[in-house]
């Protein structure tokens, strides 16, 4: 029998992800504060509920795609939360990007009710959420992962089990550190090129096939050269992820000096009113320092 899936959080990522589940033939029960998004999913055949508790009572698997740790804790453990409608055998898959310690805390409360949990944050942004090619990094028991692998695969191009509960979010933090530092490096290099009188686009074309080439370079360099800073992935969300990365690095005694530096750059951009721009706008931080603007 086809699994019934609850999906809570129909934002930039959650809405296209839930649409891909419907396309794959899964029965969906949805909930979100955004009534337009709920209505859109209802028109595609999704059932609608108003509380996580009500969804937990009906679903075999509940997926959340929420902004940060407090939102996940409220939906999972708060008033009218999943825990109130939970029953033995329910599987909870949190696909939000949150602090690993928060995932472990929620799991500790739910397992007492017989609810298994996976933390399964994603990478790839809105375009990959739309075309169903996001990467999913999953923490939790292998046997639970096996039960939901087909569901995750309906939304993703890559689904990898990385360890116990919390490991998914540790992996996502590692991903976000690498992305942020890579964008900062591209910005620093392009501003140097512009200042030295060399066309940044020529630099991009010359280096992209070598060791400096990367998915980040190919995704963000054209945006920088076009001065297109529409998100994508917003600065304020990357601030959230790097803040979680710093908290986790302090918790485990693993210094992260470069992450700290880029986080401060992002806070500077937020102060300048760029918090809703794409994270490629790290370029503007360097342009301001060097008093230059790059162009094609």
Indicate whether 186 belongs to any domain. Answer: yes
Half-sphere exposure (CA, 13 Å, Cβ side) for 68? Answer: 11
Same-domain status, 193 and 139: no
- pTM comes to 0.92
Using CA atoms, how far apart are residues 281 and 122, in angstroms rounded to an integer? 22
Same-domain status, 88 and 229: no
| CA-only gyration radius of the chain, Å | 20
**Last residue in a domain, options 164, 193, 221:** 164
Same-domain status, 24 and 147: yes
Same-domain status, 153 and 276: no
172 part of the active site: yes
- Whose tokens are 């409608």? That residue is 85
User: One of 15, 53, 128, 172 is an active-site residue; which one?
Assistant: 172
Read off the CATH number of the domain in which 267 is found: 1.10.1040.10
Tokens of 189: 């290099």
Same-domain status, 13 and 160: yes
Mean pLDDT in residue range 116-139: 94
Using CA atoms, how far apart are residues 225 and 67, in angstroms rounded to an integer? 30
Indicate whether 217 belongs to any domain. Answer: yes
Using CA atoms, how far apart are residues 8 and 281, in angstroms rounded to an integer? 30
- On whether the CB atoms of residues 93 and 120 are closer than 8 A, the answer is yes
Indicate whether 40 belongs to any domain. Answer: yes
CB-count burial class (<10 Å; 0-12, 13-18, 19+) for 215: exposed
Same-domain status, 154 and 187: no
1 band by pLDDT with thresholds 50, 70 and 90: low
CB-count burial class (<10 Å; 0-12, 13-18, 19+) for 292: middle
Using CA atoms, how far apart are residues 165 and 81, in angstroms rounded to an integer? 20
Same-domain status, 192 and 254: yes
Question: Which residues 6+ apart lie within 8 Å of 127 measured at CB?
Answer: none
Indicate whether 65 belongs to any domain. Answer: yes
Using CA atoms, how far apart are residues 229 and 284, in angstroms rounded to an integer? 10
Tokens of 165: 């509960």
Q: Say if residue 282's pLDDT is above 70.
A: yes
Domain count, the chain: 2
Mean of per-residue pLDDT scores for the chain: 95
Full residue range of the structural domain in which residue 114 is found: 4-164
Same-domain status, 188 and 159: no
Helix (H) and strand (E) counts in the chain:
14, 9
Half-sphere exposure (CA, 13 Å, Cβ side) for 256? Answer: 25
> Dihedral of CA 289/208/171/69: which sign?
positive
* CA-closest candidate to residue 280, choices 135, 203, 183: 183
Q: Say if residue 125's pLDDT is above 90.
A: no
Indicate whether 73 belongs to any domain. Answer: yes
Same-domain status, 277 and 225: yes
Indicate whether 295 belongs to any domain. Answer: no
124 band by pLDDT with thresholds 50, 70 and 90: confident
Read off the CATH number of the domain in which 66 is found: 3.40.50.720
Same-domain status, 20 and 143: yes
- What is the per-residue pLDDT across 201-243, written as a single tens digit (0 to 9) for each? 999 999 999 999 999 999 999 999 999 999 888 999 999 999 9
- What is the per-residue pLDDT across 82-103, written as a single tens digit (0 to 9) for each? 999 999 999 999 999 999 999 9
**Last residue in a domain, options 164, 192, 211:** 164
Tokens of 77: 């453990």
**Last residue in a domain, options 164, 191, 210:** 164
Same-domain status, 153 and 202: no
Same-domain status, 10 and 133: yes
- E strand spans, 164-230: none
Indicate whether 64 belongs to any domain. Answer: yes
Tokens of 208: 């992209």
- What is the per-residue pLDDT across 252-264, written as a single tens digit (0 to 9) for each? 999 999 999 999 9
Indicate whether 296 belongs to any domain. Answer: no
* CA-closest candidate to residue 28, choices 1, 62, 4: 4
């Amino acid at each position: 029998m086809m699994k019934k899936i609850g999906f809570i959080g129909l934002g930039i990522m959650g809405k296209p992800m839930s649409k891909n589940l419907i396309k794959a033939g899964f029965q969906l029960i949805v909930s979100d504060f955004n009534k337009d998004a709920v209505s859109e999913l209802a028109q595609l055949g999704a059932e609608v509920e108003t509380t996580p508790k009500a969804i937990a009572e009906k679903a075999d698997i509940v997926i959340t795609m929420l902004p940060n740790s407090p939102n996940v804790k409220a939906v999972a453990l708060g008033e009218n939360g999943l825990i109130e409608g939970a029953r033995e055998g329910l599987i909870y898959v949190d696909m939000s990007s949150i602090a690993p310690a928060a995932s472990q805390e929620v799991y500790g409360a739910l397992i007492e009710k017989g609810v298994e949990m996976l933390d399964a944050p994603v990478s790839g942004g809105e375009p990959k959420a739309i075309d169903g090619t996001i990467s999913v990094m999953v923490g939790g028991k292998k046997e639970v992962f096996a039960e939901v692998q087909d569901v995750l695969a309906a939304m993703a191009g890559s689904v990898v089990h990385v360890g116990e509960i919390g490991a998914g979010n540790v992996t996502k933090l590692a991903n976000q550190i690498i992305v942020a530092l890579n964008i900062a490096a591209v910005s620093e290099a392009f501003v140097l090129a512009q200042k030295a009188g060399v066309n940044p686009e020529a630099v991009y074309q010359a280096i992209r096939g070598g060791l400096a080439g990367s998915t980040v370079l190919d995704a963000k360099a054209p945006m920088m050269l076009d001065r297109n800073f529409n998100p994508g992935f917003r600065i304020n969300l990357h601030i959230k992820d790097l803040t979680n990365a710093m908290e986790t690095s302090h918790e485990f005694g693993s210094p992260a000096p470069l992450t700290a530096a880029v986080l401060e750059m992002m806070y500077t951009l937020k102060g300048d009113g760029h918090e809703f721009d794409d994270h490629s706008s790290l370029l503007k931080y360097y342009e301001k320092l060097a008093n230059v603007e790059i162009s094609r």
